[in-house]
Amino acid sequence: MNTTVMSHPVVPNAQWLAARKALLAHEKELTRLQDQIARERRALPWVRVEQDYVFDTPDGPRALSELFEGRQQLLIQHFMLGPGWAEGCPSCSYMADHLDGAQPHLAQRDTTLLVVSRAPLAEIERFRQRMGWRFKWVSSNGSSFNHDFGVSFTAAEMAGGAVDYNYTRQAFPAEEAPGISVFFKNAAGEVFHTYSTYGRGVEVMMGTYNLLDLTPKGRDEDGLSHTMAWVRHHDRYEQAPVASAKPVGAGCCHQG
């Protein structure tokens, strides 16, 4: 007979295995679809980057073409940290928490990882050091790079009530927005924009979400004011809750 714990079905192993195999069929469909989308993404046409963007880096001013560090591919996180901000966006910080471990592996596949914000370099460095990150983070302050790639909006655009973000015109609550952009440099030194993603597309950098999706409670974001309302800078979390001494739904032989 089926029983439930916390209103969730509990079944014999044979019944669980049948349900798991049914889910596996759907998971394989998703994997094949993701592979197909990846092929379509790689097949997108490219746009030559004509503007000579210059960034402020810890090593001095560098052109976009110099940020590849000898590799052909450049993957950029557009991090929401505007000039004068006291700290970076918590959600962008959540993304960035996943980068240091990925960086050496990306380098092995001819890809340089970089984070870009519009804040001045000194403000970027102050926050990067606070968070303990090691990845390279540069400033696009003084250039139109962030605006041209759809992650910064002018005062006039904000006053108009709608901006162009995530390939559509929409209201947006801040002058900075999250995104990921990819560039390729050929043997002649020409730089091409190959791909950008915004909105929920940036979840590709949020490996923690993928792990939470495996758990019974999932992301556990229902009822929050917005989906990432629980996210904090990693140095601002309270101590993680400990397991209850009395599991929910279980009796205790020491009740008085």
Render the burial of 76-96: b for 16+ CB within 10 Å, e for the rest: bbbbbbbeeeeebbbbbbbbb
Q: What is the DSSP letter of 85?
A: -
- Of the two residues 221 and 255, the one the predictor is more confident about is 221
Tell me the pLDDT tens digit for each residue of 166-179: 999 999 999 999 99
Domains of the chain: 47-208 (3.40.30.10)
Amino acid type, 96: A
Tell me the pLDDT tens digit for each residue of 29-87: 999 999 999 999 999 999 999 999 999 999 999 999 999 999 999 999 999 999 999 99
